[in-house]
């Protein structure tokens, strides 16, 4: 099962045993909104026009959730885009989609669980990759580095690996998050003033979601 960055992030915000949300709704909603804008940036669907986002209509999106998000933020500033996608509706749509895909038994993850299905879980591959990166020091992809940046802002990286050396996991996560400039390997766009760079600055702002 191929998941969006925002879907992986959402599943990682759930208790590994019960599937109940570990964080307040507002924190998860804003993190998911940021992840959606990040993904659209990484796919070159959203570009920067002055201080506003602009959808590149030449880039085809085959995912309805991403396409809808791109339409809703077209013409907005980065802050306004994240605020727009954080409003009620986006996270709920994503949770219902995860339930329809069988990744969750139901979308009501702020109620007592269990919410995980029996059998193989959709979040298993990403949890395994996080262990490889944060425990065994494997090199992350750009996308994985962005995910770890988001998890760091939410304070979840050490909680996701409770049996690992917490000091090592924390230091490794901070290092990966600190170097996670999306598109950094594309010199034409990886400038300090690029959209992706600005997004990361917003994501790493202390207490942005947990204030």
For 167-196, what is each residue's pLDDT tens digit?
999 999 999 988 765 433 333 333 333 444
pLDDT of 181: 53
What's phi and psi for 115, nearest 5 deg? -120, -5
Residue 58 is assigned to a structural domain of this protein: yes
Domain harbouring 188, CATH code: 1.10.3630.10
Residue 210 is assigned to a structural domain of this protein: no
Residue 89 CA to residue 83 CA, distance in Å, equals 12
Domain that holds residue 74: 5-203
Residue 118 is assigned to a structural domain of this protein: yes
Give the gyration radius of the chain's Cα atoms.
16
Residue 209 is assigned to a structural domain of this protein: no
Residue with tokens 């949890």: 127
Instruction: Please tell me the total count of domains within the chain.
Output: 1
Residue 186 is assigned to a structural domain of this protein: yes
Q: What is the pLDDT of residues 5-55, one digit of tens each?
A: 999 999 999 999 999 999 999 999 999 999 999 899 888 898 888 888 999
Residue 208 is assigned to a structural domain of this protein: no
Q: Select the more confidently predicted residue: 204 or 140.
A: 140
Number of CB atoms found within 10 A of residue 119's CB: 6
Residue 103 is assigned to a structural domain of this protein: yes
């Amino acid at each position: 099962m191929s998941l969006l960055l925002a879907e992986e992030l959402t599943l990682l915000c759930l208790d590994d045993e019960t599937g109940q949300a570990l964080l307040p709704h507002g924190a998860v909603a804003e993190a998911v909104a940021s992840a959606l804008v990040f993904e659209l940036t990484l796919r070159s669907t959203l570009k920067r026009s002055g201080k506003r986002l602009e959808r590149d209509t030449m880039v085809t999106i085959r995912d309805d959730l991403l396409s809808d998000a791109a339409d809703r933020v077209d013409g907005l500033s980065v802050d306004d885009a994240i605020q727009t996608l954080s409003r009620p509706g986006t996270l709920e749509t994503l949770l219902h989609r995860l339930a329809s895909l069988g990744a969750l038994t139901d979308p009501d993850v702020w109620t007592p669980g269990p919410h995980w299905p029996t059998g193989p879980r959709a979040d298993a591959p990403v949890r395994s990759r996080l262990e490889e990166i944060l425990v065994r020091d494997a090199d992350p992809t750009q996308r994985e580095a962005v995910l770890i940046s988001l998890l760091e802002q939410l304070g979840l990286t050490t909680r996701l690996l409770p049996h690992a050396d917490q000091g090592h996991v924390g230091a490794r996560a901070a290092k990966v998050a600190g170097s996670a400039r999306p598109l950094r390997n594309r010199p034409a766009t990886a400038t300090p003033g690029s959209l992706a760079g600005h997004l990361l600055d917003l994501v790493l702002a202390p207490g942005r979601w947990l204030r």
